[in-house]
Each structure stands twice: as structure tokens, then as C-alpha cells.
């Protein structure tokens, strides 16, 4: 019999707050975390807005002398991990260290540090490039440093699947625990690329909203006037445990991971398959893996990035999987408030789904002022809604056609 896997801790660093509780409070209030970018000068860019993490002090989470060695996305991961472990009460000791793993990914990694060191290379020469540059910027340093600092000696992995990264990390962690490779895993993702090269690259693709004069209204999934996503940053980390392991130590069981589905569109480098095929198979895979019927699901935290094509394809996919029940589902995009955290999106949104289950609340989709007639599901427009949610899905779809879906349920 497959080992059951539960969630015992959640740690969130987001544009809406540093911590799970402040983030959840702002999500349920329908607050936008989008504003004019302050981290870099955007005067020469077509896009001036983003969802930055406000008030974050790296030295609160890492020794002052260590801060400059690592990119901001690593700082975020350490902070979110610290909060998740505190929430869980999981202590890593000599006795259990080899049974605790870490799976934390990033979609892009340390671009701000790469940019700074490249500038040093050009202006001051190769001998002035920091010896900490490579370890400070590589994507697996989140999982590596978390392992070093916590003493976790089990499986140590970093996923990198664009905007599906965190969802794949949590899905991989689920499989590792089910198959007995570990009893507990620290899982999720982190991202911090509010910097020149990513902003320029996404702008050149015309993927970003240019609603610069109304930042808080820029991210508008399923709205007729949507014009692209808003770049965000932060980290979402969760503690997954085998059920009996969690029970033995008296852990707080927040939810159960019921199913995991993944697929590839095999279609286009950045556009989704127009018939929703990949998204359909990912969602159906999560249902099948969890032995769930479509009617069991009450809420979907959608990928919902506010791109013209992506939103419509996700609507098509939801209808393809759920049939008539699609009309009964609540579907919302918390990216309307947090922006798109890229590789960290799935971790943040998984954590928010856990909060939805615990609190019986479906978060809203804000800025849905002029519904697109092609997108005609219940997107929980404007205001959070109290609801009996026993099972929810969270979707993550990424460049390269990579798709992931996680099914999460109340534990009973």
C-alpha cells in the first residue's frame, strides 16, 4: 500500500508579506502586491511594474557576513524554510537526518548576482569576480544550503522546469516519500529576478503587462483587457511527511497531498497547446493518482497568469477535465495579487491552497472587471468566498510545454 503523505508546515515569502499568515490575510482581503519597481531603474524599459517583496532583510535569516555570498533567491528560500520548519515543529537530528530530504527549485536562479558579477568582469577584469559567484547563483544552492544549514542528509534535489518548478518539486517530494526514500522532505521553490536581463527578456517577448500607470490593476486574469503577466518574486516552502512519521511526533497535520500529475505539451517553446491537451492530462493525472472523481474537487488555484492565450487555454482544459462539473467549480488566480513568481509560483500557491482548505475560503481573482466571454467559469471575482473545500487542485504550466498539477485535501 502506498504511503500517505501529509503537509505539516508552510513558509511563505511573498509580495504580500513575509510569512504565511500575513500573506494569507492580504490574499483574502484582495490586496494587490504590485507596484512600481524600486530595485532597478526601469526608465529605459517598457515595463516599470512588478510584485517585489517589501521589507525583507536578509540578515534576519542569514549571518551578515554570508549575505553577499548568495543571491536573493537563496535568501528567500532560507527564510521560507525557517518558517516552514517552525510551523511544522520538525527537528532534524543525528537520528533522523538521513531520512529527511530537500527538494527546492528555481526557474531562473541568480540573475541579479550574475548581472553584478558580469559588470565586474567587464569593468574590473576576471580576477575581481567573486569566488562565491558560482555557488551563490546556481539553482541548486537553495536545496544545498538548506541541507547544510538544517543537517538534512536525505535526497537533495533541485527542479528547474520554468513556471512549473515548485509544483514539480513538491510532486517529486511526494513520490520520494511514497517510495520510501525519505520520511520527510522540505520542498518548494524560490525566485528573485526583478532585475535587468529578465525584465528586458520578458518585455521583448511581450509577455509582461505594460499597465504602468495602474500597477495594482495590471494583473487581471481572464479579463478582456488583460495584457500579460506581472513579474513577481518570493518563495514557497512546505514540509511534507509520511503520515505515520508525522503522527508519531505529534506534528500539526495541515492537509494531505492526494495526487500529482505532470505532462508535456510537445507543442511550442512558450505558448500552450491550443486545445489544452497538456493541461488536461496533468489535471487528469492528479485526479487519477489520487483516486479522485471530478466531482470531489471544489476549488482550483489556477495557473492564471493573465496572458491572452494562456488563460483561455486553461479554461478550455478545465472544461475538458471536469465536463459539467466545471460550472460548479471555484477557479481563481492568486497571481492577480502576487504577480507571477515564476519558479516559485507553485510553492506559494500550494501553500495558499493549504490555507484555503484549513480556513474554508476560496481566494479571489481581483481586477476581473470586464470578463472575457471566452472565459466563462466561476473565477471568484473581486472578493474571497467562504466555501466547504475538501479537495482542491493547483495548476502550474511552464515554458517548454511542461505542466504540473497537485491535488490537495483536508486530512481526515
| Whether residue 268 lies in the annotated active site | no
Distance of alpha carbon 196 from alpha carbon 69, whole angstroms: 20
Tens-digit pLDDT profile for residues 398-409: 999 999 999 999
Residue 117: strand, helix, or coil: helix
Q: Is residue 411 part of a domain?
A: no
C-alpha cell at 297: 474537487
Q: Residues with Cβ < 8 Å from 78, sequence gap 6 or more?
A: 61, 62, 142, 145, 146, 149
The predicted pLDDT at position 405 comes to 98
Residue 89 near residue 157 (C-beta atoms within 8 A): no
C-alpha cell at 145: 544550503
Distance of alpha carbon 346 from alpha carbon 234, whole angstroms: 11
Instruction: Out of 75, 168, 245, 303, pick the active-site residue.
Output: 303
Q: Is residue 274 part of a domain?
A: yes
Residue 69: strand, helix, or coil: helix
Residue 217: strand, helix, or coil: helix
Q: Is residue 100 part of a domain?
A: yes
| Whether residue 179 lies in the annotated active site | no
Q: Is residue 153 part of a domain?
A: yes
Distance of alpha carbon 11 from alpha carbon 154, whole angstroms: 20
The predicted pLDDT at position 325 comes to 98
Residue 363 near residue 301 (C-beta atoms within 8 A): yes
CATH number at 8 reads 3.40.47.10
Tens-digit pLDDT profile for residues 17-57: 999 999 999 999 999 999 999 999 999 999 999 999 999 99
- pLDDT tier at 2, thresholds 50, 70, 90: confident
The predicted pLDDT at position 412 comes to 83
Q: Please, is 248 exposed, middle or buried when counting C-beta atoms within 10 Å of its C-beta (0-12, 13-18, 19+)?
A: exposed
Q: Is residue 372 part of a domain?
A: yes
The predicted pLDDT at position 307 comes to 96
- Domain region containing 46: 1-400
Q: Residues with Cβ < 8 Å from 186, sequence gap 6 or more?
A: 81, 84, 85, 100, 101, 102, 103, 104, 146, 150, 152, 237, 238, 239
Tens-digit pLDDT profile for residues 286-324: 999 999 999 999 999 999 999 999 999 999 999 999 999
The predicted pLDDT at position 269 comes to 92
Q: What are phi and psi of 265, to 5 degrees?
A: -70, -35
pLDDT score of 1 more than 70? no
pLDDT score of 380 more than 80? yes
Across 163-176, average pLDDT: 98
E-only strand ranges, 15-126: 17-18, 35-36, 49-50, 100-105
Across 332-342, average pLDDT: 98
Distance of alpha carbon 375 from alpha carbon 109, whole angstroms: 33
The predicted pLDDT at position 63 comes to 94
The predicted pLDDT at position 110 comes to 94
Residue in this structure with the C-alpha cell 527537528, named with its chain if needed? 91
The predicted pLDDT at position 276 comes to 95
Sign, Cα dihedral of 268, 272, 278, 283: positive
Q: Is residue 375 part of a domain?
A: yes
Q: Is residue 407 part of a domain?
A: no
Cα of first residue to Cα of last residue in the chain, in angstroms, is 18
pLDDT score of 351 more than 80? yes
Q: How many domains does the chain have?
A: 1
Count CA atoms closer than 13 A to 32's CA, side-chain side: 20
Q: What's the chain's average pLDDT?
A: 97
| Whether residue 245 lies in the annotated active site | no
Instruction: Out of 163, 168, 245, 405, pick the active-site residue.
Output: 163
Across 72-88, average pLDDT: 98
Instruction: Out of 160, 245, 340, 405, pick the active-site residue.
Output: 340
Amino acid at each position: 500500500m502506498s504511503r500517505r503523505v501529509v503537509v505539516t508546515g508552510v513558509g511563505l515569502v511573498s509580495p504580500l508579506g513575509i510569512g504565511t499568515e500575513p500573506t494569507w490575510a492580504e490574499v483574502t482581503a484582495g490586496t494587490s502586491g504590485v507596484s512600481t519597481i524600486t530595485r532597478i531603474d526601469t526608465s529605459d524599459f517598457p515595463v516599470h511594474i512588478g510584485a517585489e517583496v517589501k521589507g525583507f532583510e536578509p540578515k534576519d535569516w542569514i549571518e551578515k557576513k554570508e549575505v553577499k555570498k548568495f543571491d536573493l533567491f537563496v535568501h528567500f528560500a532560507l527564510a521560507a524554510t525557517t518558517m516552514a520548519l517552525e510551523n511544522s515543529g520538525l527537528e532534524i537530528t543525528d537520528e533522523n537526518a538521513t531520512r529527511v530530504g530537500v527538494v527546492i527549485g528555481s526557474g531562473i536562479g541568480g540573475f541579479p548576482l550574475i548581472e553584478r558579477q558580469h559588470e565586474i568582469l567587464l569593468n574590473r577584469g576576471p580576477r575581481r569576480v567573486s569566488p562565491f559567484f558560482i555557488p551563490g547563483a546556481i539553482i541548486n544552492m537553495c536545496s544545498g544550503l538548506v541541507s547544510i544549514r538544517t543537517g538534512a542528509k536525505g535526497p537533495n534535489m533541485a527542479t528547474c522546469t520554468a513556471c512549473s518548478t515548485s509544483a514539480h518539486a513538491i510532486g517529486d517530494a511526494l513520490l520520494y516519500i511514497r517510495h520510501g526514500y525519505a520520511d520527510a522532505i522540505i520542498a518548494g521553490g524560490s525566485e528573485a529576478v526583478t532585475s535587468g536581463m529578465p525584465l528586458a527578456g520578458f518585455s521583448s517577448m511581450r509577455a509582461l503587462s505594460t499597465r504602468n500607470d495602474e500597477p495594482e490593476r495590471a494583473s487581471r486574469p481572464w479579463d478582456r483587457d488583460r495584457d500579460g503577466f506581472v513579474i513577481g518574486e518570493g518563495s514557497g516552502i512546505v514540509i511534507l511527511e509520511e503520515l505515520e512519521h508525522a503522527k508519531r511526533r505529534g506534528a500539526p497535520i495541515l492537509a494531505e497531498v492526494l495526487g500529482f500529475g505532470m505532462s508535456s505539451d510537445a507543442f511550442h517553446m512558450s505558448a500552450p497547446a491550443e486545445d489544452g491537451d497538456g493541461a488536461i492530462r496533468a489535471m487528469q493525472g492528479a485526479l487519477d493518482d489520487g483516486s479522485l472523481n471530478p466531482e470531489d474537487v471544489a476549488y482550483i488555484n489556477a495557473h492564471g497568469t493573465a496572458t491572452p492565450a494562456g488563460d483561455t487555454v486553461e479554461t478550455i482544459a478545465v472544461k475538458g477535465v471536469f465536463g459539467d462539473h466545471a460550472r460548479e467549480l471555484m477557479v481563481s488566480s492568486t497571481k492577480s495579487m502576487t504577480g507571477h513568481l515564476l519558479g516559485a509560483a507553485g510553492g506559494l500557491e500550494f501553500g495558499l491552497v493549504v490555507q484555503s482548505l484549513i480556513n474554508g475560503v476560496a481566494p479571489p481573482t481581483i481586477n476581473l472587471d470586464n470578463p472575457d466571454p471566452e472565459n466563462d467559469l466561476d473565477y471568484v471575482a473581486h472578493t474571497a468566498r467562504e466555501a466547504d473545500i475538501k479537495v482542491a487542485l493547483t495548476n502550474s504550466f511552464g515554458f517548454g510545454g511542461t505542466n504540473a498539477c497537485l491535488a490537495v485535501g483536508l486530512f481526515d
